[in-house]
């Protein structure tokens, strides 16, 4: 099994590992990072070898930290990054290049239609009825879009929005409120199968 993780502000971590009888076997960590002293890489592999396969990324990082030689210096690498790469490998996460992507970029649409399309496309990709999709949205009218769990009353002056011709709509995803207007905002969404994001948090 193979997993990769790009450490934020750092380097790529690659892990090849097998799971046998509920434990990690044949662990090999590689990447474009730097690790000193040289034997520290063997210590990382050794710390992961035999670890329970259901150990979370933080637990794997703790095993690595405990095994590293005194004075070890990591350049572009973190113990947690290695743990995340292991978790991705075990989740059998697929790769972006494993799919034939669909691009949708239509002309400006009404805000409510964009929300409906986002929901339908996401459900269709999740059900396996359409390929992963990158959709670029252009707006036909000014709008405030609030996240699925936001309070309309706390986020938007509804009377002010109506007075200025700003439609208020709710999206199916979380996050904060955003203002959009024609010709000044381009939005995009990615609808992907669960296998592509397994192991991500």
Q: Are strands 73-75 and 102-105 parallel, antiparallel or unpaired?
A: unpaired
Which of the four pLDDT bands, split at 50, 70 and 90, describes residue 8? confident
Q: Are residues 101 and 80 in the same domain?
A: no
Q: The CATH number of the domain where 172 resides is what?
A: 3.30.930.10
Nearest 5°: phi and psi at 193? Answer: -70, 155
Q: Are residues 74 and 109 in the same domain?
A: no
**In a shared domain, residues 83 and 101:** no
Nearest to 141 by CA among 113, 160, 122, 172: 113
- In sequence order, the β-bridge partners of residue 179 are 144
Give me the domain span that covers residue 154: 97-197
Name the packing angle between helices 57-67 and 79-90 (round to 10°): 130
Instruction: Quote the CA–CA distance of 182 and 179 in Å, as a whole number.
Output: 11
Q: Write the CA distances from 194 to 18, 46, 50, 197, integer angstroms.
A: 22, 31, 28, 6
**CA 163 to each of CA 13, 159, 168: distance values in angstroms, whole numbers, following the listed order:** 53, 6, 12
CATH number at residue 61: 3.30.390.50
Model's pTM, two decimal places?
0.57
pLDDT per position as a tens digit, 55-104:
988 899 999 999 999 999 999 899 999 998 898 888 766 667 778 899 99
Q: What is the pLDDT of residue 173?
A: 87
Give the closest residue to 1 by CA, choosing from 14, 98, 12, 13: 14
Residue 142: is its pLDDT beyond 80?
yes
């Amino acid at each position: 099994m193979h997993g990769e993780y790009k450490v934020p502000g750092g380097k790529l971590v690659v892990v090849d590992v097998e799971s046998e009888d509920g434990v990690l076997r044949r662990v090999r960590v590689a990447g474009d990072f730097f690790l000193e002293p040289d034997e520290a890489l063997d210590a990382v592999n050794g710390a992961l070898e035999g670890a329970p396969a259901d150990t979370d990324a933080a637990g794997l990082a703790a095993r690595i930290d405990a095994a590293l030689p005194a004075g070890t210096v990591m350049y572009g690498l973190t113990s947690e990054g290695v743990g995340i790469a292991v978790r991705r490998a075990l989740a059998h996460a697929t790769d972006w290049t494993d799919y034939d992507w669909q691009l949708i970029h239509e002309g400006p649409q009404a805000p409510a239609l964009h929300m409906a399309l986002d929901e339908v496309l996401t459900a269709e990709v999740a059900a396996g009825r359409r390929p992963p999709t990158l959709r670029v949205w252009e707006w036909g009218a000014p709008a405030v879009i609030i996240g699925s769990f936001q309070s309309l009353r706390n986020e938007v002056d509804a009377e002010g929005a109506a007075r200025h011709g700003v439609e208020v709509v709710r999206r199916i995803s979380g996050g904060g409120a955003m203002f959009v207007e024609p010709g000044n905002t381009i939005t995009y969404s990615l609808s992907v199968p669960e296998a592509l994001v397994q192991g991500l948090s």
